[in-house]
Structure 1
Amino acid sequence: MDALDGFALLLVDDHPLFRDGLAAALRHQAPGLRVQAVGSPAEALELLMNDGEGFDLVLLDYRLPGTDGLRCAAQVMERHPGLGVGLMSGADDPTLGRRAQDAGLVAYLPKTLEVPALLAQLRQLAEGEPAFADAARAPDADQAPTGPYGLTVRQVDVLRMLASGGSNKEIAREMGISPGTVKNHLNAIFTKMGAANRTQAVMMARSALEQDAAG
């Protein structure tokens, strides 16, 4: 199963040729990916107001009419705190990746990325990991496998809450991510652990976390 199956992306870019071309290319190469594209921050905010839980990621162009992607991202995150927000840009500004990270965004993706590379970054996001393809500092340590079963720090956090009896919604609220991202985290965790279902994963998690704490 592709991590992008059912993943919902809202693309915000005021250049129709780029916006519509990218949306078509993503749909073609990842048929399970749900892509909706709009041309302005106002359209995006209206759409999210009506269907805020219908998307897993909002990907904003940096240069938008009347504002910029970082300002728009702040508005989106304030109104929809559990929603992942990322920035795309064709600007030659080496500070943008770092500024996006510092602002609490989950991704910075240059427009120079080829579609397969962009899809790889989106899969990373669908699995619950941040994606900064051109950040000005080292990749987030959360992405490095350090826990039991080769889990990342982020995945271990999810696993601890799962082992404590947390529901997907409770985990999402605690971690400030969407329930869809939690589900993708759990799918990745189950695959790494070789767990057939949630109950087995909880039992394995409690055992592994106890051993980890004892060690």
Structure 2
Amino acid sequence: MIRVLLADDHEIVRLGLRAVLEEAEDIIVVGEVATAEGAISTACAGGIDVVLMDLRFRAGADGARVTTGAEATAVIRSSMEHPPKVLVVTNYDTDADILGAIEAGAVGYLLKDAPPEELLAAVRSASKGDPALSPVVRDRLRTRDATPRSALTPRELEVLQLVAGGASNREIGQGLMLSEATVKSHLVHIYDKLGVRSRTSAVASAREQGVL
């Protein structure tokens, strides 16, 4: 029996996932949480084989800093000797989101509009440690691998996300613990890969390509 934890801040989404999963004889939902922090504590308590993890959570009742699904995944993977497998189930499909989750240790990445049979297959694959990627995500990664010059690194994506949010080089450096010179170097590489000459053009180009 595959024991599953649902981690999503929308109750209706959890209800939908539970309804699909409980139709399978080899899968059981053993818990639900509405925060990334809850996913970490519940997963680390043991007894979970697969965590269905959303990427973005709203603030909890205590108003604490919101931890992302990718951050929660990294904590779970690093805190346990035999951690549960994490399968991301989200609405977000940008390169930054996908790479962030994979870098954090997620074994799979599905979009919430995936058909029920795809979700069940992904849970079973994830439980075995096998990659479980939706066709859209798989195609995105293949395209990225096929065009390495234009493929931004995870760090470059972080920098570009902050640029898109209006952060200055100094603010980016403080947020990522980098020197301003290093931030400028990352921007030079980003401009080169995207074929642009300015911050505004870089953000616009990245959005057009689905990178942001």
Fold match by TM threshold 0.5: yes
The letter of the residue matching 1:58 is V
1:85 aligned residue = 86
2:51 aligned residue = 58
Please list every run of at least 4 consecutive aligned residues from structure 1 whose deviation after the TM superposition is greater than 4 angstroms.
Answer: none
Q: Percent same amino acid among aligned pairs? A: 31
Q: Displacement, 1:12? A: 0.2
Q: Deviations over 1:167-205 (max 9, x none)?
A: xxxxxxxxxxxxxxxxxxxxxxxxxxxxxxxxxxxxxxx
Q: Deviations over 1:74-109 (max 9, x none)?
A: 111121242212222102424433332233221111
The letter of the residue matching 1:77 is R
The number of residue pairs the alignment matches comes to 131
Q: Distance in 1 between matches of 2:19 and 2:106?
A: 25
Query: 1:97, 1:132 within 8 Å by CA — same for their partners in 2?
Result: no
**2:11 matched to 1:10?**
no
Q: Distance in 2 between matches of 1:62 and 1:56?
A: 19
Q: Displacement, 1:60? A: 1.0
Evaluate the alpha carbon distance shift between residue 81 and residue 112 of structure 1 in structure 2; reply closer, same or farther with a 3 A threshold.
Answer: farther
Query: 2:87, 2:109 within 8 Å by CA — same for their partners in 1?
Result: yes
Evaluate the alpha carbon distance shift between residue 97 and residue 69 of structure 1 in structure 2; reply closer, same or farther with a 3 A threshold.
Answer: same
Q: Distance in 2 between matches of 1:41 and 1:98?
A: 18
Q: Displacement, 1:10? A: 1.0
Superposition RMSD in Å: 2.1
Q: Deviations over 1:35-70 (max 9, x none)?
A: 122211232233234x32x11111210111212111
2:69 aligned residue = 69
SS of the aligned residue for 1:59 comes to strand
Q: Distance in 2 between matches of 1:74 and 1:115?
A: 27
Give the unaligned 5+ runs of structure 2: 59-65, 144-212
TM score, norm. by length of structure 2? 0.55
Q: Deviations over 1:142-174 (max 9, x none)?
A: xxxxxxxxxxxxxxxxxxxxxxxxxxxxxxxxx
User: 1:79-118 counterparts in 2 under 5 A?
Assistant: 79-83=79-83, 84-118=85-119
Query: 2:50, 2:123 within 8 Å by CA — same for their partners in 1?
Result: no
Query: 1:8, 1:57 within 8 Å by CA — same for their partners in 2?
Result: yes
